[in-house]
A and B are shown apart, each in its own frame.
Chain A
Amino acid sequence: MPIYAPSLPPRPALDQGLPAALVIARFDIRRVLKQRVGRFFGFMFVGSLLIQLATLYVRHLLRTQSAFGGVRDFAAQVLPQGPEFHAGILTMSGWLTTLLWFQVALVGGGLVARDSLYRIRPLMYAHPVRPLDYLAAKGLFAAGLPFIILLPFAILPWGMSLLIAGTSGPISVWAPLYLVPSALLIALLMGAVTLGASSLAASPKAGFGWVLGISLGANALGGLLSGLLHQPAWMALSPQALVQAWPALLCRVTDPPLDWLPTLVGTTVHLVLWTYIAARRTRPSEAVL
């Protein structure tokens, strides 16, 4: 039956649309892209990526152009190559991951909290949306956003290295095999913390506070325990430390900030804990119609 105008075609079957999780995730992404905060962070990340690429190009010039022979030795000291260099592509000495934490806190803090504040979630559950769809949509957005931001950092410098210097370039030909999984693990970790923190908050501003609070608080607690007990493994409590640890471990840095076992355990605990909290906090029975 047409809704209003006689020209409107009959309603199509209701199973021809996209899965609910994709509809919600796409809607959230569109909203973020329209926000000023999205543009600001877009500018910051693109700037960081350009700096990364420029550094790489200068490195190539230093190595290949005889005119730069005088500064080559100096450059080799300040720009050491090897596993540390590869791992640093994703973290940029902590700058990139810190910026990313702020970004996911600002954008992702309101991910579930905004739906709670404006009571959008109960209305979603009044549609053919299951709790799993909702959680998947929010998780997809929360982890997808940092992954999409990190992916160019994992791919473009490598591509440029291949382009300008072939297989003998400053970045290993196999680097994406380490960097893309690292980016994925970082994104999953940030996504899980953001999802759980946002589900605990009553408003987007509170969500921002929760994400930063969990991130900084766990970092402080991990630092305190590892200092008191003289066991660096306690730093695995900190999502920040785990984010730094994964590229170092996968790129086989000689002295990683954390070993494999605490990193694996810490990551699993964070993923399970925050996803569980988010699942509990977004049940239909919590939805007040």
Chain B
Amino acid sequence: MIAFQDLEVRYGDTVALANLSLDLQDGIVGLLGPNGSGKSTLLKTLLGLLSPAKGTGQVLGVGLGSPDAARLRGRIGYMPEYDALIEDVSAFEQVAFWGELSGLPADSARDRAHEVLYFVGLDESRYRHVSGYSTGMRQRVKLAQALVHSPELVFMDEPTNGLDPEGRRRMLDLVLKVRAELGTGVILASHLLEDVERCADQLVILDKGHLKASGSMAGLRKMLAKRFELRFMDPLSDTQRIKLDELGRVLDDHHGLYDLELNGDATDAFRWANQVGAVLVQLTPRHDRLDEVLIRALHGDVAAVKEGN
């Protein structure tokens, strides 16, 4: 779907993306990173709006910076983070407009505008001006305009921005529906880990223009499945504490609560406790701590995620 090698993008003397190499497969790719990490620059480059200073790459088989970049954008849908809505026009009119701008004939764009607004659940309010829409409805109009021309790939930039929990759930359901029913590849840029965790098959973490980590979510989950919290009846002696490293990598020690990445499976913990004469009273899996992986990646501990590839 997308592949690039040694990609470097500059704004004058400032390096916005440095030596980025990635190979993203068809599916839902979560793009994570704090503000200024280079997510938007990467999207701009993939859309052909910025030319790389160095490196090569392809999006849907079209080379980055090639003259076909404008035509390539017809095969991509883009849902921006910001509003980007034409306030004094109905949702139907503007979705049809964006369809025409993607290269659809007028009649076809209007037909598809009806269909896609139905798809995102705005069929009954499609003739109302968007100025009267709620935040959730506005997000769905943005999604509809990104889908109206049946793109092969959709870039979604913070699709759940400003939504309440119910709105977030509906939007994430739509993201999954886009993939499941339309077969469209999705690049989901977000700073909300739960969103990425729920939807993505692959994960890319950027920070200050550098690739911090990448890998499949399945691999990441597999790696996370080895993480446990352990607590013992009595504090471990110095000898026991040293021997704990045989059980796995100690990531954190908080007043006797050990965060471990086990070398083997959970039964090893009991076996180890029996061997060293300790009484294990708590063994809790930590499958839900993707945020810690992100924090570790941002602090340079990339290996953990790469193991999950």
Contacts and interface: CB of A to CB of B under 8 A. Distances in A.
Q: Please say whether chains A and B are actual partners in one complex.
A: yes
A5 interface: yes
Give the contact-size bracket for chain B. 35 or more
Interface in A4-33: 4-5, 8-9, 11-18, 20, 23-24, 27, 31
Nearest to B80: A123
B115 A3 contact: yes
A118 B100 contact: no
Given A1-B150, A17-B105, A128-B74, A23 B119 contact: no
Interface stretch (A68-76, A194-202, A281-289): A281-289
A41 to B, nearest CB: 17
Interface in A112-150: 118-120, 122-130
Contact of A126 (B47, B75, B85, B119): B47
A4 B83 CA distance: 25
A31 B88 contact: yes
A1 B116 CA distance: 13
A9 B111 CA distance: 10
B43 A289 contact: yes
A5 B104 CA distance: 18
A285 B74 CA distance: 19
A3 B147 contact: yes
Nearest to A283: B49
Given A16-B104, A23-B101, A4 B44 contact: no
Contact of A3 (B47, B70, B101, B150): B150
Contacts of A9: 108
Contacts of A123: 78, 80, 84, 98, 145
Interface in B133-149: 145, 147-149
A127 B73 contact: yes
A118 B182 contact: no
B82 interface: yes
**Most chain B beta-carbon contacts within 10 A, residue among A15, A18, A127, A288:** A127
A119 to B, nearest CB: 5
A27 to B, nearest CB: 5
Contact of A120 (B86, B104, B109, B119): B86
Contacts, number: 130
Contacts of B106: 17-18
B103 A118 contact: no
Consensus secondary structure, chain A interface: loop
Give the contact-size bracket for chain A. 35 or more
B87 A129 contact: no
A51 to B, nearest CB: 32
Contact of B80 (A2, A20, A35, A122): A122
A122 B81 CA distance: 11
Contacts of A24: 101
A287 B44 CA distance: 9
Contact of A23 (B74, B84, B100): B100
Interface string A177-216: 0000000000000000000000000000000000000000
Contacts of A2: 115, 150
A289 B40 contact: yes
Contacts of A23: 97, 100-101
Given A31-B89, A126-B47, A128-B70, A17 B78 contact: no
B101 A124 contact: yes
A1 B182 contact: yes
Contact of A17 (B47, B70, B83, B103): B103
**Most chain B beta-carbon contacts within 10 A, residue among A5, A16, A35, A128:** A128
A127 B49 contact: no
Contacts of B207: none
Contacts of B149: 11, 14
B8 interface: no
A287 B41 CA distance: 11
Contact of B104 (A17, A125, A285): A17
A119 B82 contact: yes
Contact of A119 (B84, B105, B111, B116): B84
Contacts of A118: 83-87
Interface string A88-127: 0000000000000000000000000000001110111111
Given A8-B115, A23-B97, A126-B73, A287 B103 contact: no
B209 to A, nearest CB: 16
The 3 A-B residue pairs with the shortest CB-CB distance, nearest first, are A14-B103, A126-B78, A14-B74
Given A3-B115, A17-B100, A285-B50, 6 more contacts: A3-B119, A3-B182, A17-B102, A31-B88, A118-B87, A120-B86
